[in-house]
Amino acid sequence: MKFRFITILIYLSLSYPAFANWRCNVDRCQEYTNCSLNGVSMACSYKSGGVEYGGVDFENGEVFSIEWISEYIDNNSNLIEEPKDGYFAWVNNTKRRFSVIDNGCVQFLANSALPEFKYGMC
């Protein structure tokens, strides 16, 4: 009986779609193995919907949609020099401060509505 329960539990955890959605199954997607959500390291992917839209899907099923604010992006889709008050983007419809650290790690700081998370080359 115990073996059957463990087998069912393993099957459900492997087949549950929330845990599989972080993998890239579309174009314009990049998988990362060293992302972080509230300080917990896990895999994630960044799926780009265009210059101003994207999303981060974490291995645990957490998803963040991102709308990049165009005033921080130049004509070549690169970030401009960081303003004094920092960079901001809309994450799940909440304005969030972010920074780019270590040449390719994007870090969103926690606020009252959403947790801290990092993705990219962290």
33: pLDDT strictly greater than 80: yes
pLDDT digits 0-9 by tens, 43-99: 999 999 887 899 999 999 999 999 998 888 887 777 888 778 888 999 999 999 999
28 token code pair: 């314009």
- What confidence tier does 9 reach under pLDDT thresholds 50, 70, 90? very low
> Does 47 reside within a domain?
yes
Are 38 and 16 within 8 A, CB to CB?
no
> Does 113 reside within a domain?
yes
> Does 16 reside within a domain?
no
Q: Output the pTM of the full model.
A: 0.76
| Whole-number pLDDT of residue 1 | 41
> Does 1 reside within a domain?
no
Tokens 């130049």 belong to residue: 74
Count of C-beta atoms within a 10 Å radius of residue 115: 15
> Does 59 reside within a domain?
yes
User: Cα–Cα distance between 99 and 113 in angstroms, integer?
Assistant: 18
Q: DSSP class of residue 10?
A: H
Structural domain range at position 71: 21-120
> Does 112 reside within a domain?
yes
Give the number of domains in the chain: 1
Q: Which of 33, 10, 61 is nearest to 118 (CA)?
A: 33
> Does 46 reside within a domain?
yes
pLDDT digits 0-9 by tens, 13-31: 333 444 557 889 888 999 9
> Does 13 reside within a domain?
no
